Structure 1
């Protein structure tokens, strides 16, 4: 479940050469490698701890390899590393049927934490996501982020809201998991996650639309002079 949160709020670094096919391939590598490692080992009879260890190591290896090759952080791989790594740490607390729900909550918090950590770098998570899904305009988005204050504010505020929102959802979900019966907690946990993501996504789309209306020079496609 937490892996779906990662997919909805994350994206890898735009691969050299651009192109939507290359971007999709990067997503497959970032998401697919740790998932294949995790489920393949499960099918072979490995314990959950061993499978989580392999998935965490695979995601970490992908993150390091891309960073060395492109000098960019593939944030999607970072999210996967955080999700499986937290699951691995919580694996020592297994035995409680509520553990899987707690693991999902920590995974969601991990995705939010990656959003916040990325704000300390030159290329925040929100910007990386847009550049990945719009590879033909990736360079222009990067230029706007470096030179236009409104663009920087847009991506940084979006990343901040995603980060704080995902962490808040994870924290609020914890008492639900332990205060109601397990069968009820499963449904409420999924509902809370869906509602939070929908609310944040709706706000983000409305915010981008407002910025594009008030400051069209802050978005790709505007040809007028840009503010420095």
Structure 2
């Protein structure tokens, strides 16, 4: 069947399209949400699923760290690049695992975990403010390796794309910092069993909200022509 050429709304480059088939170009929103679900959601889901099953915090942290490490290695081997969000989750749960060894106090561990989340949020904000390569741009390139160069070019040449990636990175930073701050009174003021559940629920809700919004917003930005 004859093919024609069309302009990719996500990258601005021409791609071949079969006239008798649907457009094969992946939807940026779905790709981002799916990638975030694997890189962020899977370790989080494993951690809390094991907790609900009665596993110790150490075992749950070890499993989440292992999944994040596997995703990091898989991305590095397949795409020859580091998946920024997988590395981020590896740091979050890896540091949490180390903290579990040095603290037997559940409240102290939760407060230290809050500091880790705040540090991660600060990294997002720094990459947004410096403007060189926001962390969400790096993540989008890891989710869409075939379009990594085109994304870099659009980020360099299109102001609305730059604003979009800087904004999403800033929102992740503010969201994670807010989650870290809100977790402190939950841990300090509530009984341990209630505080643990409330802080974990806050963590999951924050990550899910950020994932869904980030995928939707970046997909919308990439679909907007220059």
TM-score bracket for this pair, using the shorter chain length: 0.5 to 0.7
Where in structure 1 do 4 or more consecutive aligned residues deviate above 6 Å? none
**Structure 2 residue aligned with 1:145:** 155
Whether 2:180 is the aligned partner of 1:182: answer no
Runs of 5+ in structure 2 lacking a partner? 1-35, 41-56, 73-80
Q: C-alpha distance in 2, partners of 1:198/1:135? A: 24
Q: What runs of 5+ residues in structure 1 fail to find an aligned partner?
A: 1-26, 32-47, 64-71, 213-217
- Contact persistence 1:83–1:106 (CA under 8 A): no
TM-score where L is the length of structure 2: 0.56
Q: Aligned runs of 1:96-175 on 2, under 5 Å?
A: 96-119=105-128, 120=130, 122-175=132-185
How far is the alpha carbon of 1:92 from its aligned partner? Answer: 8.8
Q: Per-residue CA shift, 1:156-188, capped at 9, x if unaligned?
A: 011001011101101110110111111111211
Partners in 1 of 2:215 and 2:203 — Cα distance?
18
Give the Cα–Cα distance (whole angstroms) in 2 for the partners of residues 83 and 200 of structure 1: 16
Given that 1:82 and 1:110 are in contact with CA atoms closer than 8 Å, whether structure 2 keeps it comes out as no
Q: Which has the higher strand share?
A: 2
Q: Which has the higher contact order (CA 8 A, sep 6+)?
A: 2
Preserved contact between residue 109 and residue 166 of structure 1 (Cα < 8 Å): yes
> In 1, are the aligned partners of 2:83 and 2:139 still within 8 Å (CA)?
no
Over 3 Å counting, the alpha-carbon distance change for 1:114 and 1:73 in structure 2 is farther
Matched, 1:193 2:191: no
Q: How does 1:1-228 map to 2 (within 5 A)?
A: 75-76=84-85, 79=88, 82-83=91-92, 87=96, 94-119=103-128, 120=130, 122-205=132-215, 208=217, 212=220, 219=222, 222=225, 226=226
Contact 2:82–2:142 (Cα < 8 Å) also in 1: no
Quick one: distance in 1 between partners of 2:133 and 2:159? 14
Partner of 2:162: helix, strand, or coil? helix
* Residue 84 (structure 1) shift: 6.0
How far the C-alpha of 1:104 sits from its partner, in A, is: 2.9
